[in-house]
Amino acid sequence: MNNKMKIKIKLQREQVLRVEQYKSTFLKPTGLVARQGKSIYISPDMHKRISRIVFILGDGKISLSDYLHNVLKHHFDNFSDEIKIISVDKQEPIV
């Protein structure tokens, strides 16, 4: 097997792993009951995109609230240090 073929196979495996990671991170139910949460407003374009993701990729197992909760949780889990650093500059701890 030549190097190009090995690289192509490696990239395909990495893509499969990334897809599985996306599914396990974002496309899972949270148990959140939307009516117990808070309302937020998003642009019609974002709502359309999120709705399509939830409907098509979520297989009827997740709600918009589940998806948004998972996206925001991932964001805070991955960027909490940066948020803390920025908040220190503002003299107001956030996270």
58 confidence band (pLDDT: 50, 70, 90): very high
3-28: per-residue pLDDT in tens?
A: 888 888 888 899 888 889 989 898 99
More confident residue, 83 or 48: 48
Give residue 69's pLDDT band: very low, low, confident or very high (50, 70, 90).
very high
Q: How far is CA 87 from CA 75, 83, 90, 91, in A?
A: 16, 6, 5, 6
CB-CB neighbours of 47 under 10 Å: 12
CA dist., res. 41 & res. 43, Å (int): 7
**CA-CA distance, 80 to 74, in Å (whole number)?**
10
Q: Is the pLDDT of residue 72 over 70?
A: yes
